[in-house]
């Protein structure tokens, strides 16, 4: 089993009410890959510049992530995001986005990356997502996106959605894209485009998954302190798709539900510290413990 | 076992994206009493005016609700709320509040009402809540409140909270009242005042319950269409406290968790139609079915 992810590989400068970091390791592909690395063989596809510290590449390798398709662009600069969060950390405020080597990125997947069983198209321009999709024939293809692409590349995004099995978006983006206030109906409109799984992410409130016959919802794991929510959605996707890749076959409803729980668990670790700090030092035992704690936090008995 | 509720008994004029109603039956005590009536003997305490239709009293009676302490004030007008909701129905917009007979309401509980096992102080001025509390010695006393009282009667509200076992507030109100952005720490600050149960309501995202040793969270039951969210919080409280009253003894963690599930179920029925329309015609069978559907929607298996 293996899993390929394309997305940003970034240096993030982030300020939250709990502190700040300059040019730490980040990006959708990185957060995803680290979370998924607990379950699957992950291949990362994306460009970095000369300024990208070798220790970051080493960190990915140390988690077993394959970096053969991490393209180092000579003379280029790594994608850089600068943002901050106020007290309501559900909302990210972008202060600057420097595309750097991403401006001219043209994905070329190696044979190993293109033969992955599961493909995750992280949040990048939807035409780029489609060009990656065309190079793969995975058992399960998924994409994430954002309001920027809904506003500036709507038709491309709708086409990209038509070419995947699973869509992950924030709940407000699901409603914005479909112009449908009922989340359940909005999810069905997205399914009409092709995907059989639609996941609406709700920040601190968790996530809902829609499949043709059912829906499933979990609250986020409740934390004393959220220090930096950057990458939570990608960590969620990493736990979700990593677990599904490990399952091998076409996932059952029960497997999809466990996958949502693993996504919830990985996202909860991600937001406990800045950037990748917490997930990079995580153990499988800690993941198992929190999975059980999430069950205890959400399960109730039959009536009596 | 019996349960006493004090709160508004209202005529509500409501407009939502799905329609409108003029002077329909509403109010916190009414929504609460109807939801709780599926579990407990409920006594309603509160005033109405000459204009309050006798058929509304009959409706309460038909659900087994005791209306001996429903005080009809001759020459008075019933409390009237006028409000509307936009597409984001988590937020109620108040257009007018006419206190009517509530302006001079001085609660006097009958012996039967004052001897209740469970007391719910619905969202009214906190000094009024305290005067009702002083007339009762229940096994479990709970209160709801709102941002208006946090802003205009903060000290009274804090005193009222110190006199109950359970507090139900919206999550934003929990944070506002404690000036603490972490919901878990905010809940502990409220427990330091006295209550051993704090419930943060999250609208369409469900609810979290904090007790000294644990927390428990459920998403709201996912509906195709929410037609009118008015009274959802009171229906939640009615299902929650009604079930706890039925349990008789000091509730176990498992009973508290089942009670949260029943609260979630009753709230979900409440919002499916305007005002009390759906809950008034509900059956116990429907409640049981949705309880099981909520379990299926939120439960996931052990890892494998």
| pLDDT per residue as tens digits for the range B164-210 | 999 999 999 999 999 998 999 999 999 999 999 999 999 999 999 99
- DSSP annotation string for A197-227: EEEEE-GGG-EEEE-SS-EEEEPPPP-S---
Would you tell me how many other CB atoms lie within 10 Å of the CB of residue A272? 17
- What CATH number corresponds to the domain at position B130? 3.40.1190.20
Contact B205 A205 (CB under 8 A): yes
Residue B303 lies inside a defined structural domain of this protein: no
pLDDT reading at B91 higher than 90: no
Taking chain A, what is the end-to-end CA distance rounded to the nearest angstrom?
Answer: 44
* pTM for the predicted model, two decimal places: 0.95
Residue B252 lies inside a defined structural domain of this protein: yes
Query: Cβ(A207)–Cβ(A236) under 8 Å?
Result: yes
Query: Cβ(A16)–Cβ(A84) under 8 Å?
Result: yes
| B107 CB-side CA count, 13 A | 27
Rounded distance between C-alpha atoms, residue A81 and residue A94, angstroms: 8
- Residue B225, chain A, CB below 8 Å: the answer is yes
Rounded distance between C-alpha atoms, residue A164 and residue A160, angstroms: 7
Q: What's the pLDDT score for residue A304?
A: 73
| B254 CB-side CA count, 13 A | 4
Identify the helix (H) or strand (E) that includes residue A250.
none
pLDDT reading at B113 higher than 80: yes
Residue B249 lies inside a defined structural domain of this protein: yes
The Cα-based distances of A167 to A190, B118, B236 in angstroms read: 8, 46, 32
Rounded distance between C-alpha atoms, residue A163 and residue A152, angstroms: 19
Can you state the angle between helices A232-247 and A28-36, rounded to 10 degrees? 40
- Residue B299, chain A, CB below 8 Å: the answer is yes
In chain A, which residue's Cα lies nearest the Cα of B184? A224
Rounded distance between C-alpha atoms, residue B2 and residue B65, angstroms: 10
pLDDT band at residue B97, thresholds of 50, 70 and 90? very high
C-alpha dihedral (B278, B279, B283, B285), degrees to nearest 10 = 90
From the list A258, A298, A301, the residue facing B303 with the nearest CB is: A258
Rounded distance between C-alpha atoms, residue A90 and residue B202, angstroms: 14
Q: What's the pLDDT score for residue A303?
A: 85
Alpha carbon B125 to its chain centroid, in Å, reads 15
Would you tell me how many other CB atoms lie within 10 Å of the CB of residue B58? 10
User: Could you tell me the residue range of the domain that residue A247 belongs to?
Assistant: 2-298
Rounded distance between C-alpha atoms, residue B239 and residue B266, angstroms: 6
pLDDT reading at B112 higher than 90: yes
Q: What's the pLDDT score for residue A249?
A: 72
Judged by CB atoms within 8 Å, which residues 10-49 of A form the interface with B? 17
Q: What's the pLDDT score for residue A185?
A: 95
Rounded distance between C-alpha atoms, residue A151 and residue A125, angstroms: 12
- Residue B271, chain A, CB below 8 Å: the answer is no
ipTM summary value: 0.93
What is the average per-residue pLDDT within B259-274? 98
Mutate to test the interface with A, among B185, B200, B219 (most CBs of A within 10 A): B219
What is the average per-residue pLDDT within B101-120? 94
Q: What's the pLDDT score for residue A157?
A: 98
Residue A304 lies inside a defined structural domain of this protein: no
pLDDT reading at B118 higher than 80: yes
pLDDT reading at B249 higher than 80: no
How far is B166 from chain A, CA to nearest CA, in Å?
19
Residue A303 lies inside a defined structural domain of this protein: no
Q: Return the ∠ at Cα A128 (arms to A84 and A170), rounded to 5°.
A: 45
> Reduced to 3 states, what is the DSSP secondary structure of residue A139?
coil
Residues of A in contact with B182 (CB under 8 A): 224-226
Q: Where are the alpha helices (DSSP H) in B218-283?
A: 232-247, 253-270, 277-280
Q: What's the pLDDT score for residue A184?
A: 95
Tokens 């929504």: give the residue.
B31
Query: Cβ(A207)–Cβ(A201) under 8 Å?
Result: yes
pLDDT in tens, B21-56: 999 999 999 999 999 999 999 999 999 999 999 999
Q: What's the pLDDT score for residue B248?
A: 80
Identify the helix (H) or strand (E) that includes residue B35.
helix B28-36
Mutate to test the interface with B, among A90, A300, A301, A302 (most CBs of B within 10 A): A300
Query: Cβ(B35)–Cβ(B282) under 8 Å?
Result: no
Identify which of A212, A220, A215 has the alpha carbon closest to the alpha carbon of residue A236: A220
Contact B301 A254 (CB under 8 A): yes
The Cα-based distances of A232 to A28, A266, B126 in angstroms read: 9, 8, 40
What is the average per-residue pLDDT within B134-156? 96
Query: Cβ(A55)–Cβ(A25) under 8 Å?
Result: no
Low-confidence ranges of chain A (pLDDT < 50): none
Residue B118 lies inside a defined structural domain of this protein: yes
pLDDT band at residue B272, thresholds of 50, 70 and 90? very high
Residue A181 lies inside a defined structural domain of this protein: yes
What is the average per-residue pLDDT within B93-97? 94
Q: What's the pLDDT score for residue B163?
A: 98
The Cα-based distances of B50 to A74, B44, B65 in angstroms read: 83, 18, 20
Q: What's the pLDDT score for residue A262?
A: 98
Domain count, chain A: 1
Contact A208 B222 (CB under 8 A): yes
Residue A250 lies inside a defined structural domain of this protein: yes
Mean residue pLDDT of chain B comes to 96
């Amino acid at each position: 089993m293996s899993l390929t992810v394309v997305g940003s590989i970034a240096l993030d400068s982030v300020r939250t009410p709990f502190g700040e970091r300059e040019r730490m390791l980040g990006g959708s592909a990185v957060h995803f890959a680290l979370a998924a690395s607990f379950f699957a063989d992950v291949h990362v596809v994306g460009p970095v510049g000369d300024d990208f510290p070798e220790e970051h590449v080493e960190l990915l390798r140390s988690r077993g992530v394959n970096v053969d398709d991490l393209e180092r662009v000579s003379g280029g600069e790594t994608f850089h995001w600068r943002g901050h969060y106020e007290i309501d950390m559900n909302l990210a405020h972008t202060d600057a986005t420097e595309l750097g080597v991403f401006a001219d990125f043209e994905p070329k997947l190696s044979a190993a990356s293109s033969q992955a069983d599961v493909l995750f198209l992280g949040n990048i321009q939807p035409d780029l997502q489609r060009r990656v999709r065309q190079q793969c024939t995975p058992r399960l293809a998924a994409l994430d996106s954002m309001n920027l692409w809904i506003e500036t590349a709507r038709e491309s995004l709708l086409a990209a959605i038509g070419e995947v099995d699973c869509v992950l978006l924030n709940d407000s983006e699901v409603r914005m894209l479909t112009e449908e206030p009922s989340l359940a109906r909005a999810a069905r409109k997205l399914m009409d485009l092709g995907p059989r799984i639609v996941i609406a992410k709700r920040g601190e409130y968790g996530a809902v998954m829609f499949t043709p016959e059912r829906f499933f919802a979990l609250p986020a794991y409740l934390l004393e302190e959220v220090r930096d929510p950057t990458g939570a959605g990608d960590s969620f996707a990493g736990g979700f798709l990593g677990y599904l890749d490990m399952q091998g076959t076409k996932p059952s409803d029960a497997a999809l539900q466990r996958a949502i729980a693993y996504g919830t668990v990985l996202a909860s670790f991600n937001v406990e510290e800045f950037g990748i700090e917490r997930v990079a030092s995580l153990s499988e035992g800690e993941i198992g413990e929190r999975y059980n704690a999430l069950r205890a936090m959400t399960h109730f008995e039959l009536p009596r």
